[in-house]
Amino acid sequence: MSEVEAETIDLVVEPDARPRSCVATATPRQVLAIVSVGICLANLDLFIVNVGLSNIAQEFRAASLEDLSWILNAYAIAYAALLVFFGRLAERHSRNLSFLLGVALFTAASAACALASSVEFLVVSRVAQAAGAALMTPTSIGLLLASFPPEQRAGAVRTWTAIGGLAAALGPLAGGVLVTFDWRWIFIVNVPIGVVALIVGWLKLPEVPGHDVPRPSSWAALLVTSGIGALTFAIVKANDWGWSSRGVVLGFAVATVSLAAFAWHCLRSRNPFVDPALFAVRPFTGASLVMAPYSAAFGAMLLSCVLWEQTVWGWSALKTGLAIAPGPLMVPITSLLFAGRLIARFGAAAVVSAGILLFAAGLAIWATLLGADPNAPAVVAGVMLIGIGVGLTFPTLMGVGAGALPPSSFATGSGVINMIRQAALAIGVAIFVAILATPVSMTERIAAFQRGWWIMIAITLAGFVPNYLFIRRKADR
């Protein structure tokens, strides 16, 4: 997290707005420790599942790459749609109980994932996991802000973010170790952690009451979910069924109608799911427009790296995890130690530009240097550049987008940007799966990966346009 983002979080709760009921048996640091479990579970699971995808495929031999991609996409789509919905819904109820409900749901869904007997059951369980994560994330922030005094909130949130980044960094390595026993352990490991968090949280977390705010539209949440889901489905199936096939055309049609209806709701409703007034703020619009292509490339990168190492080079899950781990590790280091200082000296737009270039450079290393013979140094060099790029770009965009909004809109704006990020992740995975298609020979497979990386580079660089038009010009003025 950048200094800009952390400082803007202080605006969410006014200095005199700390609920009296926050005084409980837990100290602020104990609250931080408890709610950090939520971000750890969500971040750890993202990278663990990517590393274990090949082992899951070995057990469910009838599943194609398109089917397996939904293990990732179902989570991203559900999380994207439910993050804003659950975040606003949780504002109406006790934050501590909502957080515990999210942990309970995530824990139970993890157990269901471990017991899955088919890809379809695993995908459904992943949707339930996403629902739990979407409930844990905003409520954990609410508990932090209510528990710490104003002068300590920025530091608390930076620590919370750093812990989540560390969990993400440990994900590939932990996944590689667990998969050596059985891929089901990547989900089983969440269960004891979640149970302990539930017990301690029930006993220690302070009560933070909800507020009388309008209930978010369930219909709008369904529209955006079906729209993103149908779009992802059509892209994934285009090569298999043909771009002009009835199923693919129907998928694109459902996506168009659903997303158009969602936009109409947001523009016309008295209680819009996403307030269109947010996009009247130029830096917020710029951050959202940069976040979309960047996140699509990020989702494709995560999938492609694991698939390359395990299917082209035949690496084990453990070796794959070790090779990937330096990248996620660079994210919290870069965002906490360097991003804030660079923003203060050069401005947010310059830092975002640097992050885009470094991310693209990492992919370019893979596209030019990786071949049939294993090349671990090239993988590590690429993933480290990507990690530094992510550490510069993601938190800076969050800080720019949310920091330009009034205090009353910070939580909603952050949720919208995260919704865009998660939806783009799913679309990026779908695009890369469509690019890979079903290569017959090793030469075709290598060419497909390289083509996919160059396409992702082009998508990443597209972020320069909104960065210049909306973020840089605003900063210059």
359 neighbors 294 (Cβ within 8 angstroms)? yes
CA distance 25 to 327: 39
Q: pLDDT (tens digit, 9 = 90+) per residue, 435-464?
A: 887 766 888 889 999 999 999 999 999 999
For the whole prediction, is pTM greater than 0.85? no
The band of 476, judged by pLDDT with boundaries at 50, 70 and 90, is very low
Asked whether the predicted pLDDT for residue 371 surpasses 80, the reply is yes
What one-letter code names the amino acid at 27? T
The band of 7, judged by pLDDT with boundaries at 50, 70 and 90, is very low
DSSP state of 416: H
230 neighbors 251 (Cβ within 8 angstroms)? yes
CA–CA distances in Å: residue 442 to residues 309, 318, 446: 13, 23, 6
Comparing C-alpha atoms, which of 95, 43, 129, 111 is closest to residue 201? 95
pLDDT of residue 349: 93
- Which tokens sit at 2? 């950048």
Asked whether the predicted pLDDT for residue 10 surpasses 50, the reply is no
Q: pLDDT (tens digit, 9 = 90+) per residue, 188-232?
A: 999 999 999 999 989 888 877 766 667 778 899 899 889 998 998
CA dihedral 230, 232, 235, 237 (to 10 degrees): -70
Q: pLDDT (tens digit, 9 = 90+) per residue, 300-347?
A: 998 899 899 988 999 988 898 889 889 888 988 888 788 888 988 998
CA distance 204 to 137: 19
What one-letter code names the amino acid at 432? F
pLDDT of residue 6: 41
Asked whether the predicted pLDDT for residue 357 surpasses 60, the reply is yes
Per the model's pLDDT, the better-predicted residue between 195 and 238 turns out to be 195
| CATH class entry, domain 3-216+273-476 | mainly alpha
As to burial, measured by CB atoms within 10 angstroms (0-12 exposed, 13-18 middle, 19+ buried), residue 279 is middle
CA distance 158 to 155: 5
- Which tokens sit at 171? 């994900």
pLDDT of residue 411: 62
Q: What is the DSSP string of 152-219?
A: GHHHHHHHHHHHHHHHHHHHHHHHHHHHTT-TTHHHHTHHHHHHHHHHHHHHHPPP------PPPPHH
What one-letter code names the amino acid at 181? F
